[in-house]
Amino acid sequence: GAVVSQHPSRVICKSGTSVKIECRSLDFQATTMFWYRQFPKQSLMLMATSNEGSKATYEQGVEKDKFLINHASLTLSTLTVTSAHPEDSSFYICSAEQGSGGETQYFGPGTRLLVL
Amino acid sequence: QKEVEQDPGPLSVPEGAIVSLNCTYSNSAFQYFMWYRQYSRKGPELLMYTYSSGNKEDGRFTAQVDKSSKYISLFIRDSQPSDSATYLCAMSAVNTGNQFYFGTGTSLTVIP
């Protein structure tokens, strides 16, 4: 199956700093990648849809100036949490779409962010 | 009304039991139906993918889609302790911009 990697897997940072999370599709090209946030014992909450070469589409309630998304190539999307605060602590998961017809998404292993 | 409804459980079964997990949905345009398994502190792993109605079998797993009832199921035969995880259903349609709609997930524990 298709493989998606995420780096780092875990990060601890001080309040006010910025954190960058990378999402890579290792064995396929992904025109579209997605960023999700997951709280404990809850389902995935879509934050934004990232399309290669264009601006990301953010879901309602997600601050685009705080969660910067860049999709510079067909295999890499990055999420930068700017000026992180403790309430940003969460599990962030990316996924990459294989195919262009809404067929399926393959998820990365997730990044656990803890802001102190 | 949520797009996708899934009983969160928790569901606890003895090893070897048949497990039935279900989701209902409201959008008749959904065409792609997926089941993901998520272990604690890990990303979701694709288990089954079905297009439109019908059944699909892969080893101990069987996915069923009934579009007329807007109902999908995942059956796990001969359940194993390693099947203990949260199972998420997801669905999408081309006319919704390929956005995935997830159920809340069902927590399953298989007791040895």
pLDDT the model gives residue B1 = 63
pLDDT of A99 over the 70 cut: no
Pairing of strands A90-98, A32-38: antiparallel
Q: pLDDT (tens digit, 9 = 90+) per residue, A2-57?
A: 899 999 999 999 999 999 999 999 988 888 899 999 887 778 889 999 888 888 99
Q: How far apart are CA B84 and CA B37, in angstroms?
A: 9
Distant-in-sequence, close-in-space partners of A21: CB < 8 Å, separation ≥ 6: A6, A7, A8, A11, A78, A79, A80, A81, A92, A94, A111, A113
Mutate one of B6, B39, B46 to test the A interface: name it (highest A CB count within 10 A).
B46
Q: pLDDT (tens digit, 9 = 90+) per residue, B28-38?
A: 989 889 999 99
Tell me whether residues B42 and A110 touch, CB distance under 8 A: yes
pLDDT the model gives residue B42 = 86
C-alpha distance from B79 to closest chain A C-alpha (Å): 22
Q: What average pLDDT does chain A have? A: 90
Tell me whether residues A43 and B103 touch, CB distance under 8 A: yes
A5-19, A59-73, A100-114, B72-86: least confident range: A100-114
Distant-in-sequence, close-in-space partners of A73: CB < 8 Å, separation ≥ 6: A52
If DSSP codes are grouped into helix, strand and coil, which group holds residue A48?
Answer: strand
Tell me whether residues A106 and B46 touch, CB distance under 8 A: yes
Q: Are B44 and B37 in contact (CB under 8 A)?
A: yes
pLDDT of B94 over the 80 cut: no
A53-57, A93-97, A101-105: least confident range: A101-105
Q: Would you give the DSSP letter of residue A59? A: P
If DSSP codes are grouped into helix, strand and coil, which group holds residue A1?
Answer: coil
